[in-house]
Chains A and B, each alone.
Chain A
Amino acid sequence: MAQTAKKQSGRPAQTMVVQSGNEIAATAAKQINYHVMGYYPITPSTEIAETLDAMKAEGEHTIRMIPGDGEHGAAGISFGASTAGGRVFNATSANGLLFAFEQLPVQSGERFPMVFNIVTRAVSGPLDIRGDHSDIMLAMNTGWIILMAADAQAVYDMNVMAPKIGEEMSVRLPVMVAFDGFFTSHQKRRVEIFADDQVVRDFLGPFVPTVSSVDMKTPVTIGPYMNDPDQINNKKQQADAIVRSYDVIRKVFAEYEALSGRRYDLVEGYRMEDADAALFILNSAAETAKEAVDALRKEGLKVGLIRLNVIRPFPIEEVRALLKNVKGLVVADRQDNFGGWGGAMAIEVKAALQGVKGNATQVAARVYGTGGKEFFVEDAAAMLREAQDIAKTGTVPVPYAYFGANPGDPSFTPAKAFDPITEADASGLIRVETTPEGKMEVKGNVLRNLTERPKRIGPGHGACPGCGIFVNMNTFMKGIEGHVVILFHTGCGMVVTTGYPYTAHKITYIHNLFQNGAATLSGVVEMFAERKLRGEIPKDEKITFVMVTGDGGHDIGMGPSIGAAMRNHRMIICEYDNQGYQNTGSQLSFTVPLGQSTSTSNYGPHQHGKATHHKDTAQIFAACHVPYVCTVAESNPRDMIRKAAKAQKYADEGLVFVKMISMCPLAWKTEERMSVPIIQASVDSCFFPLYEVEHGITTLSYDPEEKGKKVPVTEWLKHMGKTKHMLKPDCKPELDRFQAEVDRRWVRLKEMHKNPLL
């Protein structure tokens, strides 16, 4: 928390707002009016892009907002944009940061300033969406300047200062602003901001590029191949720059104090004047811990707290000065440098104390609050008392330990919920026969009889009422005989079916990451085959391997899925297409059609929903020439089951791709019970045609035109809150373009249906 100095006349006016950390980061970015933002949704940082998009639809800024195909793409967009001579902004969390990771040293090593907000969160695995520092501490040594914002006010202030620090000519480095996921990102707090955006813009001044990839008067080579003996000199330049940034940060902090009245130092010492014991702790937990310091001070204990506003460069001098007379110190890290005998800050602090003459500080490393575990005043008090004991005794009985982990109840055994589904339980209901003409025919496709099929997902999952994913998965699985192993990409379907110590999956289920499910399942499929070959698994054991992804998982995960298709592994990939990143709050995915509104493609006077057409994943897989590709919809359940049975048969030869349209009542803003007619309208409008591609030969499974049921796209759009605006006169151009695109793709498909060569 910054100290708010008394208002002095002559300072620009400020207004009070109540905003969350994410909203205020977006507000600062809007005031700066960055040229470009590259981004990709990930909890808990997504709201920054959402807020900026909503502002853009209202015309409040002109930042060009580019949704990446993943965080790696978003970071690439940001890097590219920064080479082209303007201000660049990005935001992410946890695995998003890790996926972008290889871009980080390139951005710093090639010396292009930009600002990256890191809304800190636990990194997988297991997947945990709550706040800790395991992401930011991994990024600590990538050459970026890292500012730590302890509360919403600091998020605003540091976001305003960050470009000025990184763009300084003696520095030219990218800057991260890190704040705590949920604790800071989602709490609404009182924040003072400059009333006039121009004040912020004047403080920063115009962006002055040192290099530009689009200045045709000065052609340059950016990112050359550089080995020894040159590379070490590039690193020396970079190291010198981050060392120089030490003074630049202090200068910018001082200039900002003069402008705003809010003071920041590289390090904040709280009640450290006469402290002989202290707690070293970062960000929101440090604010909580100040209450404990006050309480223990009332008891007469000489305790204090140290918190950093900047972790890179590490403020070594200031930390040494504050620790001069401290005898007992607990360094609490919200992550662990596994095997390093402490978290990142514990190691840094110990290193800082090395060689300081006369220093007697004894340090205990504690790992606390990982995965977002709440941190209470009492927790901080316990750590301070421990620091006090260390100060008193001069010894550290336990140098490294976890704080707040539970041993568990030894008498507890998780209850058995289901008997394993046997081969016999799940077989004998449906069969695929091949006709003399070589066509596959599916027998036993009777809904009543198929109610006997054991469900592979059990009841009790936490999906929203009316969710289409579980209708699609259940219907599809009715066509699949025998043993199944299933893998889910990150997404709604995954989040609501497992939540430790619970799982809704009755069969073996694997979750790895958001984007590489197809690669992961490829490994499973091949290991299974190899172990069968080696006699480690019976030769007649049969398992059908199914991967499930959302359409968002097929933005970020398109590469691995195409890789699996090209290798033609014996597996089925099911994509439930609910048209957006619904798990993180309905941001646009590439399958969202033109003009539709999502939380990152808002409708407003300055923006009419998504600007581009929907991605056609089925055709992408058809172009991979896998044995079988099909599209299915719950409005035609027998067709879906028939295709599932065929998919299982085709998966004996190689990869199968299945695309399912899936209603999301929450994001589509539809009545839960109305799923079938809405899905039917998407099919009848030919937006989502039902067809299959068998060894390259396309067959329409249902032709609404032939049946006299074809309707204009408006008959689908009118059902959904997210598309109501498309029926308004101002969206007529978007509506016409969408209808024309749907018609064009439909006509093309009909031609493919007629001609086996297409």
Chain B
Amino acid sequence: MTQSGKAVKLPVKNDLGFFEIRMESIGGLGANVAGKILTEAAIIGMGMNGAGFASYGSEKKGTPIKSFVRICEGGQQVRINSPVEEPHVLAIFHEALAKSVPVTAGVVPGKTVVILNTRRTPSEARDFLKLEGGKVGVVDAMEVAMATGSRVNMVMMGAIMKAAGFYEWKAVEETVLAQFGKKYASLMKSNMGALKRGFDEVTFEEFPVDGKYPATPFTREEPKLGYETAPIGGTIYSVGNMRFKDLSTSRTGTIPLFILDKCVRCGECDITCPDYCFVWEKGKDPKTGKDGMVLLGIDYQYCKGCLRCTYICKFDALVPAKEAEQDMDKITVKHKFLK
């Protein structure tokens, strides 16, 4: 029952009676809190039932996470515990994730509304995500968050509410107040502003299944190394193979830019970089012509954008820059790993 006394009906639900939301994000953008608020608002504020949870591992910032919300009508019990595979709303908080995570897995045209935090148009977003079809919404959540002094999650929540169609403002507002009101009362206005703008500014466009891109069904993970093929005891022989990972999704807009002309090859950057991005090789010093170690550039595959190096460099050879304004492929210098 809502506060006005009406029982809320879900506009659509799956075979088990749920309306499901999946948020694709990186640790630190608040997708988990958004899931918590959307769950609580539906249950406490609107008399529904549901569950909110995330794909927990350890508590690392910048790593990909998924946040799930599962809502049903008030009289139903929630019995399943598995992650949301084919959501009604898929909200992608960080577009760079699409590079390394199958964020669109389980999107069903006609069922799933996809929302992307982006500056792109819906049509560009569809092409960027290579969606088979269906309804696509875009909102520049980063921009709105900065303008309102709030966070990405509030803007995305507003957009999710619009796509879901059954959320009541008062319920969400009161949950946000309960969540942040006590500790961060000063931020209430910013948060509500961001929520409202997310709701108002998300723009949708419907795309037919036109054969431009294939379907992206959800597939449950099957490890390539299994009980018949994995070395016993869990031993890994392919040492250092984390280098095959792409960590660029951990960045949130800013990168260090290397200016070769200003580099004096002091070696401080190689000390301060936690992610071992600096590519040093033996060679001729461009200034003195002497043999020695020379910094060639940055392997951005591993750069998480912490900007420690821009602080440590006393010679302005490493400066912060907006990633969107750079051709990353062009400025990346790759490590040479194998002899």
Contacts and interface: CB of A to CB of B under 8 A. Distances in A.
Interface of A: 1, 16-18, 20, 43-44, 125-126, 129, 180, 182-184, 186-190, 284-285, 287-288, 290-291, 374-377, 405-410, 412, 414-420, 446-452, 455, 457-471, 474-475, 478, 492, 495-508, 582-586, 634, 637, 665-666, 672-677
Contacts of A637: 268, 271
A585 B59 contact: yes
Contacts of B184: none
Contact of A583 (B59, B245, B250, B312): B59
Nearest to B60: A464
Interface stretch (B135-143, B219-227, B325-333): B219-227
B56 A284 contact: no
A471 B309 CA distance: 11
A675 B312 CA distance: 9
Contacts of A180: 81
Interface in B321-339: 335, 337-339
Contacts of B50: 190
22 contacts: A17-B44, A18-B43, A44-B56, A188-B52, A376-B82, A406-B227, A408-B227, A417-B243, A419-B339, A420-B239, A448-B293, A449-B292, A452-B293, A458-B242, A465-B62, A465-B304, A498-B236, A503-B240, A503-B242, A583-B59, A673-B307, A673-B310
Contacts of B301: 459-460
A13 to B, nearest CB: 16
A505 B240 contact: yes
A490 B83 CA distance: 28
Contact of B268 (A1, A290, A408, A447): A447
Contacts of B83: 374
Contact of B242 (A17, A469, A502): A502
Contacts of A582: 59
B293 A471 contact: no
Nearest to B256: A673
B44 A501 contact: no
Given A417-B239, A503-B236, A675-B272, 20 more contacts: A18-B52, A291-B79, A405-B226, A407-B226, A409-B224, A409-B229, A417-B244, A418-B337, A446-B267, A448-B265, A458-B242, A466-B274, A466-B306, A478-B271, A492-B58, A501-B224, A502-B244, A586-B59, A672-B306, A673-B307
A188 B51 contact: yes
B238 A501 contact: yes
Nearest to B64: A462
Contact of B276 (A377, A458, A586): A458
A304 B274 CA distance: 54
Q: Which 6 A-B pairs have the closest CB atoms?
A: A408-B226, A447-B267, A408-B229, A460-B242, A466-B306, A465-B304
B153 to A, nearest CB: 15
Given A190-B43, A676-B312, A634 B272 contact: yes
B206 interface: no
Given A408-B229, A414-B238, A673-B311, A43 B40 contact: no
B39 interface: yes
A285 B271 CA distance: 48
Contact of B274 (A188, A409, A450, A467): A467
A179 B77 CA distance: 18
Contacts of A290: 79
Given A416-B238, A503-B242, A674 B311 contact: yes
Contact of B58 (A410, A468, A495, A634): A495
B268 to A, nearest CB: 6
A44 B301 CA distance: 31
Nearest to B295: A451
Q: Bin chain B's interface residue count.
A: 35 or more
A502 B236 contact: yes
A287 B299 contact: no
A503 B228 CA distance: 21
Interface of B: 16, 27, 35-36, 39-40, 43-44, 49-54, 56-63, 77-83, 220, 222-230, 233-234, 236-245, 247, 250-251, 265-268, 270-278, 280, 282, 292-293, 295, 299, 301-302, 304-308, 310-312, 335, 337-339
B57 to A, nearest CB: 7
B82 A374 contact: yes
B292 A448 contact: yes
A465 B61 contact: yes
A157 B40 CA distance: 20
A459 B335 contact: yes
B240 A452 contact: no
Contacts of B228: 407-408, 410
Contact of A417 (B80, B233, B238, B247): B238
A375 B81 contact: yes
Contacts of B242: 417, 458-462, 497, 499, 502-504
Nearest to B308: A673
A484 to B, nearest CB: 13
A697 B153 CA distance: 55
A739 to B, nearest CB: 28
A471 B272 contact: yes
Contacts of B277: 459
A468 B308 CA distance: 10
A504 B225 CA distance: 18
Contacts of A285: 81
Contacts of A673: 306-308, 310-311
Nearest to A599: B59
A287 B80 CA distance: 6
A187 B52 contact: yes
Given A447-B267, A459-B243, A465 B306 contact: yes
Contacts of B62: 464-465
A447 B266 contact: yes
B82 A375 contact: yes
A414 B58 contact: no
Contacts of A182: 53, 56
Nearest to B85: A376
A634 B278 CA distance: 18
Contacts of A43: 58
A460 B243 contact: yes
A189 B40 CA distance: 8
Given A190-B43, A407-B226, A418-B337, A503 B239 contact: yes
B293 A449 contact: yes
A125 B234 contact: yes
B36 to A, nearest CB: 6
B292 to A, nearest CB: 7
Contacts of B307: 672-673
Contact of A1 (B27, B79, B302): B79
Contacts of A187: 51-53, 81
B310 to A, nearest CB: 6
A465 B250 contact: yes
A448 to B, nearest CB: 4
Given A288-B79, A462-B247, A673-B311, A188 B36 contact: yes
B60 A463 contact: yes
A227 B105 CA distance: 63
Could you say which of A17, A471, A492 has the most chain B C-beta atoms within 10 Å of its C-beta?
Answer: A471
Nearest to A419: B339
Contacts of B39: 18, 188
A665 to B, nearest CB: 8
Contact of B80 (A291, A416, A508): A291
A305 to B, nearest CB: 11
A377 B49 CA distance: 19
A18 B243 contact: no
A462 B239 CA distance: 16
Contacts of B312: 676
A161 to B, nearest CB: 21
B338 A410 contact: no
Contacts of A583: 58-59
